[in-house]
């Protein structure tokens, strides 16, 4: 599963994602021809990232490339629901990537426009928020 190999600190503070703050980085297509851009802030779990990877690579076959623009590096800790306060931080549960509004999650390149579009549409079904497909303005159909 996705996650960092080592961390300096075992736990991190919870921190909520602010609603009306747009992303500054990972907002333009850099490596691929088409990309998936989100419309709302959320925490992307490593399991969801893996599900998107599987769906896109299965649809594209062995053609094309998949470029990730995010990485889940924030640990989330969860405990039992009825634990009283003051017993320390609970155990590690999963890795997440905090995503701001307008962030590009994944880019696809090296395949036809129809295949790339369908692969990203399938990936949108795995996300917990709304997203849309962005096309690189220099994208030329290879013939």
> Mind listing the pLDDT tens digit for each residue in 41-92?
999 999 999 999 999 999 998 889 999 999 888 888 888 888 888 777 777 7
60: tokens are 């594209």
Share above pLDDT 70 across residues of the chain, in percent, rounded to a whole number: 90
Overall average pLDDT of the 12-18 stretch: 73
Residue 5 has pLDDT above 80, yes or no: no
Domains delineated in the chain: 34-79+87-135 (3.90.1170.10)
**Edge-to-edge strand list for the sheet holding 42-45:** 42-45, 92-99, 74-77
Higher model confidence: residue 14 or residue 94?
94
Query: In which residue are the tokens 């590009």 written?
Result: 104
Predicted local distance difference test score (pLDDT) of residue 1: 64
């Amino acid at each position: 599963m996705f996650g960092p190999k080592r961390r300096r600190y075992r736990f991190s503070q919870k921190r909520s994602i602010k609603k009306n703050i747009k992303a500054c980085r990972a907002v333009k297509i850099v490596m691929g021809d088409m990309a998936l851009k989100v419309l709302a802030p959320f925490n992307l779990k490593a399991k969801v990232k893996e599900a998107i990877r599987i769906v896109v690579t299965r649809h594209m076959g062995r053609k094309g490339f998949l470029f990730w623009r995010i990485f889940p590096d924030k640990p989330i800790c969860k405990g039992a629901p009825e634990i009283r306060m003051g017993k320390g931080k609970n155990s590690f549960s999963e890795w997440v990537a905090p995503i701001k509004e307008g962030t590009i999650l994944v880019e696809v390149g090296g395949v036809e426009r129809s295949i790339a579009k369908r692969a990203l549409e399938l990936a949108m079904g795995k996300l917990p928020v709304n997203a849309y497909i962005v096309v690189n303005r220099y994208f030329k159909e290879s013939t």
